[in-house]
Amino acid sequence: MNKFWTIFKSEYAQVVKKKSFLVGLILTPAFMIIVTIVPALLADRDVQVQSEYAVVDIDGRGIGQKFVEALKKQKLSKDSSVEAYRLTQLYDMAGKGKEDIATLRTELDSQIVTKGLTSYIIIFPNPEKSDSVMLVSKSINFKTSARFDKAISNILASLRLEKSSVNLPVDSVLTMTRRIDMMQSSPGGKTRDFFSMYLGGIIFVMIVFMSVIGFGGILMRTVIEEKNSRVMEILISSVSPFQLMIGKVLGLGAANLTQVGIWVAMGAMLYSARGNLHVPAEVGTVLFNPVIIVFFVAFLILAYIMYATLFALIGSICSTEKETQNFMFPITMSLMLPVFIMMYVIQEPDSLVTIVLSLIPLFTPTMMVLRLNIMAPEAFSFSDPIILQAVLGFIITSLFTVGVIWVTSRVFRMGILLYGKRATFPEIMKWIRYK
Amino acid sequence: MSGYLELRGITKKYGDKIAVSGLDLGVPKGRISGIIGPNGAGKSTTIRMIMNIIAPDSGQILFDNMPTTEAFKNSVGYLPEERGLYKKMTLEEVILYLGQLKDKSRKEIEPKIDPWLERMNLAPYRKRKVEELSKGMQQKLQFVTTLIHEPDIIILDELFSGLDPLNIELIKGVLLELRQSGRTILFSTHVMEQAEKLCDSICMIDGGKKVLDGTMSDIKGRYGTNSIHLEIAGDGSFLQALPGIEKVTNYTNYFEITLSDPSKSNDVLKAIADKVTVIRFERMEPSLYNIFIALAGHTTGIAGKGGGHE
C-alpha cells in the first residue's frame, strides 16, 4: 500500500509541477472556446459592411424594382439605420436578345470576381409561374440567401394573389401566411434552444475527451519512457506490475481531477462575474444542474479509468510513440463519437439507436453525458428513463472496465519488459493466458 | 553449498533458444560473488530471473531459504545492465522515489542523500535534473539509488561497463566496504580481470550452462601453475621444439609457455638460457581468462586483461 502511494504521489507531482500543466489550465479552455463556441457565434453574426448587388430583370413588370424596395428594409443590425445591401444597378433587360443577356452576365460575373460586387439576381420572364429567379454570388451567406429568398417569394406570392380569385388585400394574406420561429420547450416548462443544448453538450463531451486523451497520453508516454530508459526493471524489482499500473492510472487520474476541478471553479467564477454581460439563462441552468454534474463527474472518472488503462496497455506493448499511433485512431474515434453524431442525438436523444450506442461501454461516458445534457433531468428519479439508462450504462461500463483492468494487468507485466519491438497479437493472447 | 541466495535447476527458454539451462548457484552470505562469462552466456537472464523480472521455466530461487517475495524485493538493491533514470527529475527526487519504492520513508532516506552524493562527487547536483549529468555521473547516481535503502543483498549486472578507471576504483572501494559490513554482493561481468580482483567466489557460465564454480583460491589451485611468463633477448622461434614445453603463446613483448610437467621447470630454464639471454622467467597463476579459454575452448565476447570493451 505504501508503494502504491509512492507511485501515486510521484505520478501526480510529476504532472502537476510541470509548467505545461499550468499552461494547459489556461490554454485548453481557451482552445475549447475557440473551436466550439466561436464558430457558432460567427455563423450567427451580422455582416458589418454593406454588400453590393445588382438586379437583372428580364421579366419587365417591375419585379426588380419591388425587390430593390423590399431589400431597403434590411439594415446592418437591429439598431442600425444603415441598409445592409446597396444596389449597384438595376438592368432592365426585358425583350433583349439572348446574346445581350449573356454579355451582361459575363460582365457582372467579372465584377464579382474583380470588383466589390457581392451578388446579382436574375429575374426570368414570368417567374411567378416558372419559379425562375437565380442568385449568383461568390459565396453563400445564409442570412443574405434567406433575405433574398423571402423578399422575392413575397413579391411572387402577391403577383399570384392578384391573379387569383381571393378577394382579400395582398398584405393581409401575407401577414396571415407569415412563417414564425417556434420556441421549443420540454415538459416542465424549461425553455431550451438549439444553441444551449449544443453548447452544454459540447462543453461536457470536450472536457471528457480532453482529459482522457491528455492524461491517458501522458500515462502511455511515461510507460514507454520507462521501458526505453530501462527504469522499468528497477521499478519491477521493487513493486508488482499491478501496483505500478494502478498507481500510475490513479495518480494521473488525481492530476486530471485537479485540472477539471480548477476549470470548473474558473467557469463558475467567470459565470458569477458576468455582470451585465448577456448570458442566456438556460446556459446556467444546464451547467449547474446538480443531476447532470453528479453524472458528469461519475462518467468522467469512469471514462478516465477505462481509457487510461487501455493507454497503459498500448504503452506496454509498444516501444516507441510512433508505434502507438495506430491504436490512437480508434480510441479518439470512440471518444469523439457523440460529437460526430451530435446533430442526430440532439434531435433524437431517445431513439433506439441512441440508447443502444450509449450503452456500449467505450461510448457510454461521452454519449450519456451528451444525452443527459439534452434531456436535462430535473431530479434523480428512477422513473425517468434517462436516469435509469445512465445508471445501467454506468454499471455495464464499470464491469467492462474491470475486465479491461484484468486483461491489461496480464499484458502489462509482460509487455513492459519487451524492448525494441511491438508485441504481436498472438504474443498478447499468450500473455493473457499465462499463469 | 548452501547460499544466502540459492538457485536450483533454473532453466529458461526463449522460443527454441535455451538461455539458461539447469543452473545451480549458491551465493554465500557476506561475500562478493561474480557471475562471469562471455556476452550472451545467460548472465543477465539469470539475474533477471533472480529479480523476478522474468519467470524461469523451471527451477527454484530461494533467498534466506524463502521464495523471493515481497521481503526480498525490499532487501535487494538491483542495478540493471541497461542504465537509465528519469531524465526530468532532480537527483534528489529520483533517489527519494526509488528509495521509497523499497518501503523506506522519506525521513529515513533524506539524511543519507548528501553523504552518498558527496562520496560520488555529485553533491553540487542534488537539485539539478538528471539529464544535466554526464553519462558516467548518471551511472554513479544509479549506483547510489541501488544502495540508498541499505540493502542486505546487492545485485549488479555488468557493473563496470561504461565507467572510467577512476570511477571503477571509487565503486570498488564502496563494494569492499559493503562486504566489510556484512553485505552480500553478486555481480556479473564479462571482464575477467575485474572479477579476479574483487570476487571471493565465482560462477562461470557459457551457453547458459555452468562451466566452473567455486571460491577464487579453489579455482586457482585446481588449475595448477604450469604457465611461465618468459621474456628473452632475441628470437624465440626455437621454443616450440624444446622438450618439456607443451604450448607457446607469442605476445608482443613476451611469451607465455605452458610446461608439460611443472616440476621440470628448472630443466626448461637451463635449456632456454643455453640459447638466449633470459630477462624474465616467472611462474604465474593462471588467469580466469586462461581458465575460461581452457574450459570453453573459445574466446567469443570475453575480455581478458587490459579491461573491457563496450
Both B24 and B87 in one domain: the answer is: yes
Q: What is the pLDDT of residue B308?
A: 38
* In a shared domain, residues B156 and B279: no
- In this prediction, residues A14-21 reach a mean pLDDT of 86
Distance of residue A233 Cα from the nearest chain B Cα, in angstroms: 7
Give the whole-angstrom CA distance, residue B54 versus residue B47.
9
What's the confidence (pLDDT) of residue B52? 84
Q: How far is CA A276 from the centre of its chain?
A: 27
Residue pair B288/B190 in contact (Cβ under 8 Å)? The answer is: no
Of A231, A236, A417, the CB nearest to B86: A231
Size of interface A-B (CB pairs under 8 A): 54
List B residues 2-61 in contact with A (Cβ-Cβ < 8 A).
Answer: 48, 51-54
Rounded to the nearest angstrom, the minimum Cα separation between A231 and chain B is 6
Whether residue B65 lies inside any domain: the answer is yes
CB distance B106 to B70 below 8 Å: no
Whether residues B263 and B146 share a domain: the answer is no
Which tens digits make up the pLDDT trace of B175-206? 999 999 999 999 998 887 788 888 899 898 88
Distance CA B159, CA B178 (A): 15
pLDDT at B301 over 60: no
Nearest chain B residue to A230, by CA? B84
A2 neighbourhood in chain B, CB within 8 Å: 100, 103
Q: Which residues of A touch B86 (CB under 8 A)?
A: 225, 229, 231
Chain B contact for A21 (CB, 8 A cutoff): no
Selected residues 61-100 of chain B with any CB under 8 Å from a CB in chain A: 73-74, 76, 78, 80, 82-89, 97-98, 100
d(C-alpha B171, C-alpha B185), whole Å: 13
Domain boundary residue, one of B203, B220, B237: B220
Give the total number of structural domains in chain B: 2
Distance between CA atoms of residues A224 and B156, nearest Å = 24
Among B82, B87, B101, beta carbon nearest to A238 = B101
**Which residues fall within 8 angstroms of residue A131, CB to CB, at 6 or more apart?**
A156
Burial class (CB in 10 A: 0-12, 13-18, 19+), A184: exposed
Query: Is B190 near chain A, with CB under 8 Å?
Result: no
Asked if the C-beta of B116 comes within 8 angstroms of chain A's C-beta atoms, the answer is no
Q: Which residue among B220, B244, B262 closes a domain?
A: B220
Helix (H, G, I), strand (E, B) or coil at B47: helix
In a domain, B298, yes or no: no
pLDDT of residue B69: 80
Q: Specify if B117 maps to a domain.
A: yes
- Give the total residue count for chain B: 310
Q: Output the CA–CA distances (angstroms, integers) from residue A162 to A17, A131, A166, A167, B161, in the order listed.
A: 77, 16, 8, 9, 101
**In the beta sheet, which residues pair with residue A415?**
none
- Identify whether residues B62 and B209 lie together within a single domain: yes
Kindly indicate whether the ipTM for this predicted assembly is greater than 0.90, answering yes or no: no
- Out of A10, A228, A229, the one facing B97 most closely (by C-beta) is A10
Choose the final residue of a domain: B191, B220, B249. B220
Q: Do A236 and B52 touch (CB under 8 A)?
A: yes
Residue B207 in domain: yes
- Domain for residue B110, yes or no? yes
**Residues B145 and B246 both lie in one domain:** no
In a domain, B168, yes or no: yes
Mean pLDDT score across all residues of chain B: 85
| Run of H or E including A307 | helix A290-317
- A183: confidence class by pLDDT, cuts 50, 70, 90: low
pLDDT confidence band for A194 (50 / 70 / 90): low
Alpha helices per DSSP H over B13-100: 43-50, 70-75, 91-100
| Domain shared by B234 and B158, yes or no | no
A246 C-beta neighbours (distance < 10 Å), count: 19
Angle at A435 between CA A430 and CA B4, to 5 degrees: 125
CA B155 vs. chain centroid, Å, equals 11
Specify the higher pLDDT residue, B124 or A80. Answer: B124
Greater model confidence, A35 or B257:
B257
Residues B216 and B239 in one domain: no
- Whether B49 is in a domain gets the answer yes
Task: Fill in the amino acid letter for A381.
Answer: S
Q: Note whether residue B66 is domain-resident.
A: yes
Contact status of A221 with chain B (Cβ, < 8 Å): no
Q: Report the SS3 class of residue B209.
A: strand
Min Cα separation B235/chain A (Å):
53
Show the domain range for B235.
Answer: 225-284
Overall size of chain A counted in residues = 435
- B102 and B48 within one domain: yes
* Residue B235 and residue B191 share a domain: no
- Same-domain check for residues B91 and B210: yes
Q: What is the pLDDT of residues B119-176, one digit of tens each?
A: 999 999 999 999 999 988 999 999 999 999 999 999 999 888 878 888 989 999 999 9
Does B255 lie in the same domain as B139? no
The closest alpha carbon to B24, from B200, B153, B212, B198, belongs to: B212
Nearest CA in chain B to A225: B86
Residues B97 and B125 in one domain: yes
CATH code at position B127: 3.40.50.300
Q: Under a CB-based contact definition with an 8 Å cutoff, are residues B52 and B73 in contact? A: yes
